[in-house]
Amino acid sequence: GAVVSQHPSWVICKSGTSVKIECRSLDFQATTMFWYRQFPKQSLMLMATSNEGSKATYEQGVEKDKFLINHASLTLSTLTVTSAHPEDSSFYICSATATNRGINEQFFGPGTRLTVL
C-alpha cells in the first residue's frame, strides 16, 4: 500500500511554455503533499508543501508565481511550471504523507524528468 504516482514520467517542452505535473496518492488519502526538485547528482530540495484545499507554502527562494501548486483533493496535487526556461530543467519529485499513517512516513512518487529546450 501507500503508492504515489506521477504523470508524466518525463516531458520535453519548448522554452516559454507551461508544463503541468500531477501527483496522485493511489490507495490512501494524503493530508499533505510535498514537491521537491533534484538536480543531477544532488540532493532533494523542498520547493513547497501542499495541503488539500489551501494555498501551498513555498520554501524561501522558490517563486510561487512560477511554480503553481494546486491541491484539489486528498489524492491529487499538481505542479505547473509556468513559462518554463532551460534552467527549470530538472527532476521533480512529489511525496505524500497519509492521514492514517502518521507524520513520520512519507511516500515518494517516481519523479518527472522535465527538459526545457
Partner 1 sequence: GNSVTQMEGPVTLSEEAFLTINCTYTATGYPSLFWYVQYPGEGLQLLLKATKADDKGSNKGFEATYRKETTSFHLEKGSVQVSDSAVYFCALSPLNTNAGKSTFGDGTTLTVKP
Nearest distance in Å: CB 14, partner 1? 23
Assess 25 for contact with partner 1 (CB under 8 A): no
Assess 21 for contact with partner 1 (CB under 8 A): no
Q: Give the count of alpha carbons within 13 A of 36, CB side only.
A: 17
| Grid cell listed for 62 | 522558490
Nearest distance in Å: CB 16, partner 1? 27
Stretch that binds partner 1, among 63-71, 72-80, 81-89, 94-102 (CB under 8 A): 94-102
Q: How many residues bind partner 1 (CB under 8 A)?
A: 25
Binding site for partner 1 (CB under 8 A): 4, 6, 32-34, 41-44, 46, 49, 93, 95-97, 103-111, 113
